[in-house]
Structure 1
């Protein structure tokens, strides 16, 4: 009886075994396929794909496709305060780029955060009407970044000094939240000789600002630079690879001070590394040595302001990602009020905090 029952049970056991084997086979093949896809679609590959998708030729092919009307999604957003600040705190931003980046990085900057700038300029070595860019007479290459910057500032001073209250330099892989920049600057005095950014405490006595995350000059700072133009060659290095520290030395020579850009809780607003490095608090060794924004005290998200201003090393496709997370993604049912996170006008000088 037991033997008969055993013989009858074997087909069931065999069927279960076969089913498990087939399931594992397909699961393994699916996993291997997904892994293969991820291996093939590495970050550089994804970036190349993103560039193809945003190329002018691709855009032309997409003209006949229906496009969602995103304006209705923002219809309920109250931007009264930001629009008022846009009128009251005028910011000119010039972006350092070069010919190889015109149709990739520069174009995406123009079409994303650059749309919110009062006056946006792209400085390159050739004129390109499709962006458009402004050409300065300088050789391309890292060792000529200082010369490029000095000529860019000369162009801004001579042609746009009266077009803005504040003047910012950024790279073509910098991402700037203009509303937060204007809010921060609304608590500062552009008539004072001051500039702001992500401060490093090395090379220059008072420190210098990272060029990658951008730095901002007051109108008085730019006026001093422009009016002492005859002496700039003596006061400021005219060519070098270290554009940001050269500008720091120049500002110090002109009596333009560095100052605190952290918020009322001591959290940073300008960020010289990739966003993920700041968010998780993974900094290179040199950052701990030279950062003057409190990296040795706070790390990660607790060190970052809710009203962050700038990030560096943002690839073109990541600019689109930033646009979505900053301006479109919203948790349903949470209405966030305005936070007053600017330092008091008589805030402590940064030199006291970190030297």
Structure 2
């Protein structure tokens, strides 16, 4: 360009200089705009990540059972009051093909619920049950929750749902819930993570507080927020669908653990846990198996149900005394053990 200017072509020189200045100005303007855009994206990204971290922190808690030493400090009168204040309603979803399991569950652990009712897919003459008129487990679950809430919302503060393959120790459940407030949205059991969703597995049993029942039943009346047919969105398991609806209502899955971090709601049987412990912890089979305060085990046969009843409620080792600080009294008129 200097050659051109020296030769006297000043108009051309000015033109080229103007063009370069204009292009440079556009370039700088683009860099500035790009920098601002990147800064905004980064800032929004941090906001989003921060929100997601807060959501993840809130979604999943490892809830632990109360410390036994704390319960020893409770006065006798308070213990009696506490034992009477916990009212657990048990929901068992059954089908006619579950007949032998149905009989075992009815004759075993459900006697320890404050009230237990069976919800069946169709009328069964042999056992008393509430007919849900569907074999779809998600529809059965929805109908059962609505029925129970409408009929018993003023009588019970905790609601436990299980399949007939599950064995539950209700006293351990009540002990775990000792310091939990049923007016808060608790939804707990054995949690499973699937993508962004964390939900409670029905195989280990599902516990809802009264507040969770209120929120769920509000959603169940609105098919747009909690669809009746799983195929309308995607076909997923009933416990996962329940988790989707509860998360929509601000109720997040909580994993129940003892003081050692062991699960209290188990999706397998004791036999499988012991087999695994013998493989991985051969020197600590009992300690490595499962929690001393376990609430549920799953995958039991009718015979195993009765064996569990004997082991949990009948068998005692002479000279080995359990001084429980809190005794949960059986329901009035109950024939439990």
User: Which TM-score tier does this pair reach, normalised by the shorter chain?
Assistant: 0.5 to 0.7
Q: 1:219 to 1:299 in 2, by over 3 A?
A: farther
**Normalized against structure 1, the TM-score is what?**
0.62
2:91 to 75, 89, 94: 94
Aligned to 1:134: 130
1:114 has 2:110 as partner: yes
What is the CA-CA distance between 1:156 and the residue it aligns to? 1.3
**d(CA) in 2 for partners of 1:253 and 1:87?**
33
Name the residue aligned to 1:9.
none
1:177-209: CA deviation from partner (whole Å, max 9, x where unpaired): 011011111221111112111111114x35111
The CA distance in 1 between the partners of 2:81 and 2:171, in whole Å, is 10
The 3-state SS of whatever aligns with 1:162 is coil
Deviations 1:323-353 (A, max 9, x none): 111111111111123379xxxxxxxxxxxxx
Maintained 8 Å contact 1:271/1:278? no
State the partner residue of 1:220: 211
| Aligned counterparts of 2:129 and 2:180: Cα–Cα separation in 1 | 30
Give the 3 Å change call, closer, same or farther, for CA 95–329 of structure 1 in structure 2: same
1:254 aligns with 2:254: no
Q: For 1:179, which of 155, 171, 194 is the aligned residue?
A: 171
Distance in 2 (CA, whole Å) between partners of 1:214 and 1:153 is: 14
Q: CA deviation at 1:235?
A: 3.1
Using the TM superposition, give the Cα deviation of residue 231 of structure 1 relative to its aligned residue in structure 2, in angstroms: 2.2
Whole-angstrom distance in 2 between the partners of 1:123 and 1:82: 33
Deviations 1:72-103, CA, capped at 9 Å, x for gaps: xxxxxxxx99986552110111101011223x
Q: Deviations over 1:263-310 (max 9, x none)?
A: 122121000012122234369xxxxxxxxxxxxxx9974362211100
SS of aligned partner of 2:118? strand
Name the counterpart of 2:39.
Answer: none
Alpha-carbon separation, structure 1, partners of 2:255 and 2:80: 25
Query: Any stretches of 5+ residues in structure 1 without a counterpart?
Result: 1-79, 284-297, 341-355
User: Is residue 138 of structure 2 the alignment partner of residue 152 of structure 1?
Assistant: no
Contact 1:94 1:170 in 2 (8 A): yes
CA distance in 1, matches of 2:207, 2:147: 16
Change (3 A) 1:167 1:337: same
**What SS is found at the alignment partner of 1:313?**
coil
Instruction: Mark the runs of 5 or more structure 2 residues left unpaired by the alignment.
Output: 1-76, 279-283, 327-337
Q: Does the residue aligned with 2:153 lie in a helix, a strand or coil?
A: helix
TM superposition shift of 1:129: 5.3
User: What is the SS of the residue equivalent to 2:225?
Assistant: helix
Q: TM-score, normalised by structure 2?
A: 0.65
Per the alignment, residue 308 of structure 1 pairs with 294
Q: Which structure has the larger Rg over C-alpha atoms?
A: 2
1:82–1:273: structure 2 CA closer, same or farther, 3 Å change rule?
Answer: farther
2:199 is the alignment partner of 1:208 = yes
- The 1:216–1:82 alpha-carbon spacing in structure 2 relative to 1, beyond 3 Å, is farther
**Residue-pair matches, total:** 241
Map of 1:55 onto structure 2 = none
Paired residues of 1:95 and 1:172 also in contact (CA < 8 A): yes
Is the contact between residue 267 and residue 302 of structure 1 (CA under 8 Å) also seen in structure 2? no
**CA–CA distance in 1 between the matches of 2:168 and 2:185?**
23
Greater relative CO, 1 or 2 (CA 8 Å, sep 6+) = 2
